[in-house]
Amino acid sequence: MKTITKKQDLISEIDSLKATGKSIGFVPTMGALHAGHMSLVNRAVNENDCCVVSVFVNPTQFNNPTDLEKYPRNLQHDEEMLRAAGCSIVFSPSPEEMYNAEEMNSTFEFDFGGLDQVMEGKYRPGHFNGVVQVVSKLFSLVRPDRAYFGEKDFQQLAIIHRMVKLMNFPVKIVDCPIVREESGLALSSRNERLNTQQRENAVKISEVLFESRNFVPEKSVNELIRWVIDSINKVEGLEVEYFEIVDAATLQAIDKWNDNCVGCITVYCGDVRLIDNIRYY
């Protein structure tokens, strides 16, 4: 396994792989890898000749400087996990390698078709501009045949599909299911910031989401939204930022049940922001 920090070195490696007809699977990450990430890496290793993983905490997708500063980083541990999984290349650039000063200080423009106006986009202005900015750069460098993304970031995944279509990237996006701890808590790098009590509290998020499926379609959409929010807010240390039930294709809020809807939630557990989602069909 090679660890590369310079764009030009990565381009040279990819050129060599392409020249010999090797297929490339790509997993973009911000590091602090866990079993959820590794499920993507394992698929990329198994389904391609070469697996490339980026480990880059992207500053342009953080609208909160404190969140960026506190984001967990442990490249050595990440490299050990990736080597054991059979990863071929780790790309771990500095922000200065990825962006010039103008890019760091301006908003990346993209036609989201409204996908950025709801849920995460509403509460984290500019976040998805930074996501599209960095993923488009990485796709241009890695030129993968397949790229693997987790469904935990459901809204992000929808935006990546739109980006690939509008920007004509010749890559297949592979949607991968949420990986959970045995307790049901969705795996996240941010879980590292939870203390023991907070972790116990956070399990209630998935418990309530799973239970909420029992009330469909008896409860109306709005009644179920209220029930989920109230149930989680009753837990000490948890505060729902939003819970919305949306059409899985358009991400627009629904008011009547259909066979293609998903509930998306963000909850603060102390000062740690956790996201999760559940399908209702």
For every residue of 201-226, DSSP letters joined together read HHHHHHHHHHHHGGGTTTS-HHHHHH
Q: Give the angle 248-273-173 at the CA atoms, nearest 5°.
A: 40
Integer CA distances (angstroms), 63 to 123, 124, 160, 172, 223, in order: 10, 6, 19, 29, 32
Active site residue 37: yes
The residue assigned the tokens 């501009």 is: 129
CA pair distance 209, 227, nearest whole angstrom: 10
**Which token pair is 102?**
């103008």
**Which token pair is 173?**
């996006």
Q: What are phi and psi of 215, to 5 degrees?
A: -100, 10
Integer CA distances (angstroms), 130 to 11, 81, 156, 228, in order: 22, 27, 11, 30
Catalytic residue (one of 34, 37, 127, 161): 37
The dihedral built from the CA positions of residue 111, 117, 119 and 125, taken in this order, carries a sign that is positive
CB 120 within 8 A of CB 128: yes
H/E segment holding residue 115: none
Catalytic residues: 37
